[in-house]
Amino acid sequence: MASKIIPTKPILVLLYGMPGSGKTFFARQLCEQLQAAHLEADRIRSELFESPTYAKEENHIIASLMSYMTGEFMHNGVSVIFDVNSARVSHRRLLRNLATKFKAETVLVWFQLDPDTSFRRAVKRDRRKTDDRYAQDMNPAAFRAALTTMQNPEVSEPFVVISGKHVFNMQKNAFFRELRQRRLVLDAEAAEQVSKPGLINLVPNAAAGRVDMSRRNINIH
């Protein structure tokens, strides 16, 4: 396996998307290609709380700890994949300011997937799988509650769109293309990580990748 890519400067990768859209799967796979620390909120929560409640106070503790750890990593020149849904504009602004403090660049990844598919994935998580082991148990009420907290990226927030229905090789192509355009990786190194079209198993439905996140007429049974 090729050695991991080291960014030209530390980067903070933020993830935005509905439960079940593939954020943790992407983060874990990306860490095998990019030299970065993977801070997984669900795992940290499970280590600190035997029976997580996801109450406001508990969420505050997790958020504060992750921000502190992120600052420590970036202070030492280490990139961070911030694996929690960065749902609100104000939260993303705070994290971007934290990155700026340590002369790091922020990359916001928007996972787009239709709500019905996201919900089906979220409620069928398999605890035997690495990416599902620490995830929150999901039901219709919890899923709807998660959607109400989400605020789409604003025009002033640069982001890269990734389809939650694409395989990782396709997703990483979009991600590394964004890094290359922003000169956060060297062209030659980024090219090594881009999969050739013939090696990618594309999802049959070519129109399945994007969704209007302003939808609110979602029926979950």
Dump pLDDT digits (tens) for 45-103.
Answer: 999 999 999 999 999 999 999 999 999 999 999 999 999 999 999 999 999 999 999 99
Mean pLDDT of 174-188: 91
According to DSSP, the residues that pair with 15 across neighbouring strands are 85, 109
Q: Other CB atoms closer than 10 Å to residue 94's CB: what's the count?
A: 14
Please report the pLDDT score of residue 117 as a whole number: 97
Evaluate whether 101 touches 12 at the Cβ level (below 8 Å): no
- Summarised one tens digit per residue, pLDDT across range 130-144 is 888 899 999 999 999
**pLDDT greater than 90 at residue 195:** no
Range with the poorest average pLDDT among 37-41, 117-121, 128-132 = 128-132
Instruction: Give the chain's mean pLDDT.
Output: 87
**Could you give the angle at the alpha carbon of 174 between the alpha carbons of 44 and 148, nearest 5°?**
50
- Yes or no: say if 175 and 109 are a contact pair by the CB < 8 Å rule: yes
Q: For the whole model, what pTM was predicted?
A: 0.84
Q: State which fold the 11-199 domain adopts.
A: Rossmann fold (3.40.50)
The residue whose two tokens read 């995830």 is: 135
pLDDT at 128: 85
Q: Please report, for the chain, the start and end positions of each structural domain, with discontinuous segments joined by +.
A: 11-199
Q: What percent of the chain has pLDDT over 70?
A: 84
Among candidate residues 129, 121, 168, the one with its CA nearest the CA of residue 146: 121
The whole-number pLDDT of residue 191 equals 59
